[in-house]
Amino acid sequence: MALNRKPQDCKPTSAPRRVVVALRMAGIAGQDKLNGIFDYLSAGRRWQLIIYRTKHEFTAEVVKHELSRGTDGFIVGIPGTEDALGVLAATDIPTVVMNVSGGGIERRTKKIAFVKSDSQTVGREAAHALLRQGVYRSYGYAGYRTDDDWSRERGTAFRDVLENAGFIGRMFDITHFQDKVEDKHTLIKWLQGLPKPCGILAACDDRAFEVVDVCNEIGIKIPAEIGILGVNNDPILCENTDPRLSSIQPNFIEEGRLAAELLERMMSGGKILPNKRLNRVGIRAIVHRESTVVQSESGRLVQKVLAYIERNAVKGIGVNDVARRFKVSRSLLELRFRQLQGESVYEAMLRVRLEEVKRRLRQTNDPIAEITAACGWGNPTPPKGLFKKKFGMSMRDYRDQNSQR
């Protein structure tokens, strides 16, 4: 599929760049990455996108054909395309590789960049999220048998945080179970042997779906006996499990935007320094649903407060406004919120407001004073200091480095 992205009010001054994007569209990850690419192009870059969606479409022969057509660059993120990657590995055409490997592409050194989800951050944040609930006797990781590093990295980071907190991470992965990690009977025995209640991180939503299915089959109650947290926050899976599945949402949109930015830089003659060749992107959010949230008044209150903060923080609301909105004392609100979320109500509001500042700095030309006012500050001086403290640079420097306008 070819898409010619150009602003409606601009006359073309040169032919658009021909760019091949190979992303698996079966789940939310590929769709959000493509949205991130479109987000980058919305600033006026002119690309003709040639999109491939499956490994059966994106073959070595297809890559050779695209090269013969004078394609300017590739963004590749479909697993199982080692032959196609092998063809690209033998060229110096600008290429960004997203969360896949093989074909010797890792050894290429010219006009190449890699964008990956930060699997270690996923594992660490999952462990902290389950620990904060304070209801589990034990913790486990349900991994995959895979040759890629992402499942192993998530599990290792998850286990390390638990060990630092004094818990044993009970691992169900290729390192500990080899081929049996894909065996349903072995999974059943592992789940039955966990001290309960147990908090489990699954390597991804598909794996979490399998765990939920097995638990329902053998009568393990969720979340009373096992709390389950997936990764990807795919709404088709997460909203249709019973109970609904909590999940970590990687920042796939930022991965796509960053991939597009790196490719444009290379196609324009810019260089990617060796220490900037590998780029890891962290998570966007942890979305709690019934598979982890303890069904109590406190849990329901905190979930409502989080949703209210997400919608209203940029309006300049304060902690007292939240307490009045939910008819609880400020001290009780702060106590319950910190118990379950590991941060204060003010810290949660500040996080939302500063993230909106970042978005506006990237995507608009609005003056900084207007941006801070739109995000709830009457005086631009305090948010400037808060921004620099949290992100290590001034708002102006952040805009200069990340502007999409």
- The residue among 146, 148, 145, 92 whose CA lies nearest residue 117 is 148
Confidence of residue 131 (pLDDT cuts 50, 70, 90): confident
pLDDT at 405 over 70: no
CB 167 within 8 A of CB 200: no
Q: Are strands 138-142 and 226-231 parallel, antiparallel or unpaired?
A: unpaired
Q: What tokens appear for 251 in the block?
A: 């920042």
Share of the chain above pLDDT 90, in %: 63
Burial of 67 (0-12, 13-18, 19+ CB in 10 A): middle
How many C-beta atoms lie closer than 10 Å to residue 327's C-beta? 6
Question: What per-residue confidence (pLDDT) applies to 84?
Answer: 97
**Confidence band, pLDDT 50/70/90 cuts, at residue 4:** very low
Domains annotated on the chain, with CATH? 2-117+252-284 (3.40.50.2300), 119-250 (3.40.50.2300), 296-402 (1.10.10.60)
Full DSSP string of 102-153: -TTGGG--SSEEEEEE-HHHHHHHHHHHHHHH---SEEEEE----SSSHHHH
- Using one digit for the tens of pLDDT, what is the confidence trace for 9-22? 443 457 899 999 99
DSSP 79: T
Which residue is associated with the tokens 């978005």? 359
- In angstroms, rounded to a whole number, what is the distance separating the alpha carbons of residues 158 and 172? 12
Query: Which backbone phi and psi does 184 adopt, to 5 degrees?
Result: -65, -40
pLDDT recorded at residue 12? 46
Q: Is the pLDDT of residue 7 over 60?
A: no
Question: What distance lies between CA 97 and its chain's CA centroid?
Answer: 16
Classify the phi-psi angles of 399: left when phi > 0, otherwise alpha if psi is within -120 to 50, otherwise beta.
alpha
Beta-carbon count within 10 A of 155 CB: 27
Provide the 8-state DSSP code for 15.
P
Per residue in 201-260, pLDDT (tens digit) is 999 999 999 999 999 999 999 988 999 999 999 999 999 999 999 999 999 999 999 999
Quick check: 295 pLDDT over 90?
Answer: no
Average pLDDT, the chain: 89
pLDDT tens digits, 37-96 = 999 998 888 999 999 999 999 999 999 999 999 999 999 999 999 999 999 999 999 999
**CB-facing half-sphere around the CA of 30: CA atoms within 13 A:** 18
The β-bridge partners of 171 are 141
pLDDT at 6 over 90: no
| pLDDT value for 8 | 40
Question: What spatial distance separates the first Cα and last Cα of the chain, rounded to whole Å?
Answer: 26
With b for 16 or more beta-carbon neighbours within 10 A and e for fewer, the 212-233 pattern comes to bebbeeeebebbeebbbbbbbb
Return the residue matching tokens 């997203």: 98
H/E stretch holding 196: none
Distance, CA of 242 to CA of 212 (rounded, Å): 8
Q: Provide the pLDDT for residue 3.
A: 53
- pTM as predicted: 0.71
Q: Quick one: average pLDDT of 86-113?
A: 95
The single-letter DSSP state of residue 16 is P
CB atoms within 10 A of CB 240: 11
- Any idea which of 201-205, 239-243, 334-338, 371-375 has the lowest mean pLDDT? 334-338
Helix, strand, coil shares of the chain, percent, nearest 5, are 50, 15, 35
pLDDT at 108 over 70: yes
In a 10 Å sphere around its CB, with 0-12 CB exposed, 13-18 middle and 19+ buried, how is residue 386 labelled? middle
Q: Which residue has the higher pLDDT, 300 or 143?
A: 143
pLDDT on residue 298: 73
How far apart CA 192 and CA 212 sit, in angstroms, is: 13
